[in-house]
Structure 1
Amino acid sequence: MSGPRRELTTAVVVCALGAVLALLTAGRTWRVVSAKGSIRLPAQELTGTELLPWLPAVALAGLAGAGALLAMRGKARAVLGLLLVVAGLPLVGAAVYGAATGRPVVPLLLGLGGAMISYAGVRALLRGASWPALSSRYERPSAPEPGEYVERSGPSRSDVAMWDALDRGEDPTSRD
């Protein structure tokens, strides 16, 4: 595998793993709340999603960004890299908040996932322009420059003449 292709693969895998890690840890227990007082109530477990409802959406945006890294090229890939950096930073901030609320291990794993997404974004921002892109086989060809000769594709003049003869009611295949 070549250098740029390896960099692209690494960025996509790191971003996808970070997003999956963030999704998994957002649904785990972050805090256990128990009532104090004379009435005994069962302890309530709160997940990261219950504390911060936007966590899965940001993690899914990171997962979508991993796939988009493959499809984009050039400046669009750099913009995507910036968006991935911006998507990963709130997850790191949520991890700091979650670590202060109770069980610090699970929120810190979320922070690791956010850092992985941001890392992939930084790599795409800095090096993404040199990475390979998907095939352009199905893209529309660019317009020719004014005055540039373009070979015409389509029916030849004899084909057009046959159709014109049919329009006049003549049989172009008969020999008179």
Structure 2
Amino acid sequence: MTAGRALWTWVAVCGAGAGLVLLAAGRDWATVTYGTRAVPVPAAELAPALGPAAWAALAAVVAVLATRGVWRRIVGVVMALCGVGVIVGAWSGGRPGAGLAVAAEHAPMAAGTTDVVRIANALAWPLTAGAGGLLLLAGGVVAAVVGGRWPGMSERYDRHGHGAEAAGRAPARGAPTDRALWDAIDLGADPTADPTADPEGETEGESPRARPDGDDGGR
């Protein structure tokens, strides 16, 4: 796999990981029921760091494309830390009793009753967030280790710019150099004369100037 293809594969994987985290962060991870009243518990209450970590990871993806060298490795470390934060948040927020305290804050009157309390945890969403966090962690480690070999966004423009600059510095084909002009002057030639012109000043279709009467050119 070429370096450019590896870079864009990495971008796709990290983007998918951040997308999974954002998807899970917008869902209800648990439902606490007090008698007949159900209190949903959103992920934003159980793991509030998921959304910011996912957006930070997306920003890190763009930063990896825009940077090179040691800065790209630093961004990779930041992304790996975002992945670790997502994994920790998914684990803590997905525990069976994690939503009970949050639900009690949202419905204190219901929580104070003696009705039977039931907790339903949607484990699919914490697992989804954890999977996204693993992708971000792996992507950050890869960027920190081998990201320096990947091409940057400005490399193509730099290559084209250097080529155009070199072409501008190159002399035009067929144009006389300074040395050739001085050599022509030393030989007594006119360096500004057109080398394709007739040295006698005659052009095609013109007749030679008439000689004086009696001059037959034999002298």
TM-score higher than 0.5 here? yes
Equivalent residue of 2:37, what SS? coil
Distance (whole Å) between structure 2 residues aligned to residue 99 and residue 55 of structure 1: 12
* Aligned twin of 1:31: 30
* Aligned twin of 2:18: 19
Distance (whole Å) between structure 2 residues aligned to residue 24 and residue 12 of structure 1: 18
Preserved contact between residue 4 and residue 132 of structure 1 (Cα < 8 Å): yes
* Aligned twin of 2:65: 70
Note closer, same or farther for the CA distance 1:98–1:53 as it changes in structure 2 (3 Å cut): closer
Which one has the largest radius of gyration?
2
Which runs of no fewer than 5 residues in structure 1 stay unpaired? 139-150, 152-176
Distance (whole Å) between structure 1 residues aligned to residue 134 and residue 85 of structure 2: 10
- Deviation string 1:98-119 (CA, Å, 9 cap, x unpaired) is 3323222110100111111111
CA-atom RMSD, angstroms? 1.9
TM-score (norm 1): 0.71
TM-score (norm 2): 0.57
* Aligned twin of 1:59: 54
Alignment partner of 1:128 is 2:130? no
Preserved contact between residue 49 and residue 85 of structure 2 (Cα < 8 Å): no
Alignment partner of 1:79 is 2:74? yes
**Offset, 1:52:** 2.1
**Offset, 1:54:** 2.2
**Offset, 1:90:** 1.1
Stretches of 4+ moved more than 6 A in 1? none
Equivalent residue of 2:151, what SS? coil
Identity, in percent, stands at 35
Which runs of no fewer than 5 residues in structure 2 stay unpaired? 97-120, 159-168, 170-219
- Deviation string 1:120-158 (CA, Å, 9 cap, x unpaired) is 1111011101000112547xxxxxxxxxxxx9xxxxxxx
The letter for the 2-side match of 1:113 is G
Distance (whole Å) between structure 1 residues aligned to residue 41 and residue 94 of structure 2: 13
1:1-176 equivalent positions in 2, closer than 5 A: 3-35=2-34, 40-101=35-96, 102-135=121-154, 137=157
Distance (whole Å) between structure 2 residues aligned to residue 48 and residue 94 of structure 1: 10
Number of residue-to-residue matches in the alignment: 135
Distance (whole Å) between structure 1 residues aligned to residue 37 and residue 68 of structure 2: 54
Distance (whole Å) between structure 1 residues aligned to residue 15 and residue 59 of structure 2: 8
